[in-house]
Amino acid sequence: QVQLVESGGGLVQPGGSLRLFCAASRSIFSIYTMGWYRQAPGKQRVLVAHITSGGTINYADSVKGRFTISRDNAKNTVYLQMNSLKPEDTAVYYCNAGRLAGYWGQGTQVTVSS
């Protein structure tokens, strides 16, 4: 079993930045692909970015050049640095281990509004 705990969400103005954190309950990065997904009101949950156990990174087209996913193996923590935020980035952001059939955090709200 793996527990994932997200933090770092909040309210930010357009053009601002936030950094999300996902702490895993144990060392899993060598086993699982770690990802960030988001779900806006009335929409499906979609992939934002992921990093494989081998270190390959992929981003959704909508966030390329603005968001950066990274991980700290020693701290069992995955990060999502979000810059140049837009109102359409507003959503609940979820941390994931092991892709869609894997483990999920409880989510953290990100609201981009003036």
How wide is the angle at C-alpha 79 spanned by C-alphas 35 and 44, nearest 5°? Answer: 40
pLDDT reported for residue 4? 96
Position 30 pLDDT exceeds 90: no
pLDDT reported for residue 24? 95
User: pLDDT tens across 56-93, in order?
Assistant: 999 999 999 999 999 999 999 999 999 999 999 999 99
Instruction: Kindly state the tokens that stand for 8.
Output: 């770092």
pLDDT reported for residue 19? 98
Q: Are 19 and 80 in contact (CB under 8 A)?
A: yes
Instruction: Kindly state the tokens that stand for 41.
Output: 């009101």
pLDDT reported for residue 9? 95
